[in-house]
């Protein structure tokens, strides 16, 4: 089944403890992206990747890192999480330019 898989679905952590949210797609998509969703703000892009080893900042990249060492995986790294990074995170991918994004099921992150 074609899908974008994020793990974990829920995560509670403390300020400053490094964490990684994984994202994997089995559709051989070149383009992948991370978004965060906050009430009243909709979804905002954090980072995106046009292909392996090609990543760039979105609208809200502060406090996040990404890597794209292989086509299927695009992890989101929070080196030192802070409470303002408490949010719902989505990974997404798309096959070709212009086609719709496929979203993962989301990761609910709480930083205390």
Partner 1 sequence: AQTVTQSQPEMSVQEAETVTLSCTYDTSESDYYLFWYKQPPSRQMILVIRQEAYKQQNATENRFSVNFQKAAKSFSLKISDSQLGDAAMYFCAYRSGFGNEKLTFGTGTRLTIIP
- E strands, the chain, where? 4-7, 10-13, 19-25, 31-38, 42-51, 54-57, 65-66, 76-78, 87-94, 102-103, 107-111
Answer yes or no: are the C-beta atoms of 46 and 109 closer than 8 Å: no
Stretch binding partner 1 (CB under 8 A), from 16-24, 28-36, 66-74, 79-87: 28-36
Report 58-97 residues binding partner 1 (CB under 8 A). 58-59, 88, 90, 92, 94, 97
Site size toward partner 1 (CB under 8 A) is 26
φ and ψ at residue 26, rounded to 5 degrees: -110, 25
Q: Which of 40, 62, 69, 112 binds partner 1 (CB under 8 A)?
A: 40
Interaction site with partner 1 (CB under 8 A): 31, 33, 35, 40-45, 48, 50, 56, 58-59, 88, 90, 92, 94, 97-98, 100-101, 103, 105-106, 108
């Amino acid at each position: 089944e074609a899908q974008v898989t994020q793990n974990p679905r829920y995560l509670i952590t403390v300020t400053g403890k490094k964490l990684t949210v994984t994202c994997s797609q089995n559709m051989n998509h070149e383009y992948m992206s991370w978004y965060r969703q906050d009430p009243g703000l909709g979804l905002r892009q954090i980072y995106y990747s046009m292909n392996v080893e090609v990543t760039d900042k979105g609208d809200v990249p502060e406090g996040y890192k990404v890597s794209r060492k292989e086509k299927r995986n695009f992890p989101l790294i929070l080196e030192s999480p802070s409470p303002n990074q408490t949010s719902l995170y989505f990974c997404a991918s798309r096959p070709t330019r212009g086609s719709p994004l496929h979203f993962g099921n989301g990761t609910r992150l709480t930083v205390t």
